[in-house]
Amino acid sequence: TTISLTNTESEKFVGYRPSDLEDKRRAIDFVARDDLKRIMGYQQMRKVDPDKAPRSYDLKIVDRLGNVRDVHITIALIPDTRKTIASFIDITEQKKMEAALKESEAKYRNIFHNAMEGIFQMGVQGEILSANPSFARFFGYKLPEDIMRGVRDIRYEIYVDEGQRNELKRLLDKHGFVHNFEVHCRRKDGQRIWASLNMRIVRGGDNKIICYEGTLVDITERKEVQEDLLSKSRSLEETNAALRVLLRQREADK
């Protein structure tokens, strides 16, 4: 299709003045190679059945210097003719922002799914809204979907100690977050484990609580070592106390 009418804005898109475009060049000449087959298909469709051809779509155009630009095009048919009018909107920056957002989302998903720490979101009623694989495995589930279906209220089904549960709620209500809060938990098979929990409250625009989100790490082995050391320390203190009693008795006997 030969270009027969342009305005001064067209120079920004293709690098040619209107007088250099009209009746001298085809619109298809400015379409990027990757989009060429698709756009030619639209043109063919428009000749056969104009009503089925898309009236607006995105494509890339190339100006006379080889610069590529993303545009959104809108096609309007001129009544009683086989001609069309096309208008362009530059969406290059919008496309860049969309690409950057997709890249950021991909990085987040990668971190979320591959993190060694358990990552989760919990609803106000204790339901698990989202969880990563590490969180599910930590509590003995194969997949995040399994623990999300299997646990109705994490506060009572997973947190073992009522005192810890109440203290966690008190700290969250007071500060809005907790760091390295140690909590005794129950796995799917009933085994007791320890976790170090980081959690914060997420609020909406009306300041109402939307959910809680946080991370946790397994500290069971560390707690067991601490308990073992504490037990040995108590035993040693008791032994020392007994020795002191014996020494005092020996002195008294002398």
Q: Which of the residue ranges 8-17, 25-34, 197-206, 212-221 would you say has the lowest mean pLDDT?
A: 8-17
Six-digit token pair at 122? Answer: 């919990």
Q: Residue 7: pLDDT band by 50, 70, 90 thresholds?
A: low
Chain centroid, CA 120 distance in Å:
12
- Measured CA to CA, the distance from residue 136 to residue 119 in angstroms comes to 9
* pLDDT > 90? residue 143: yes
Q: Residue 120: pLDDT band by 50, 70, 90 thresholds?
A: very high
What long-range pairs does 124-127 form, CB within 8 A, spacing at least 24? 124/209, 124/210, 124/211, 124/212, 125/153, 126/152, 126/153, 126/154, 126/155, 126/156, 127/151, 127/152, 127/153, 127/154
| H or E segment and range at residue 202 | strand 192-203
* pLDDT > 80? residue 52: yes
Predicted structure pTM score? 0.60
Q: Give the tens place of pLDDT for each residue, 57-87.
A: 898 988 878 888 898 988 887 777 667 777 8
Find, among 109, 110, 103, 123, the residue nearest to 214 by Cα: 123
* pLDDT > 60? residue 2: no
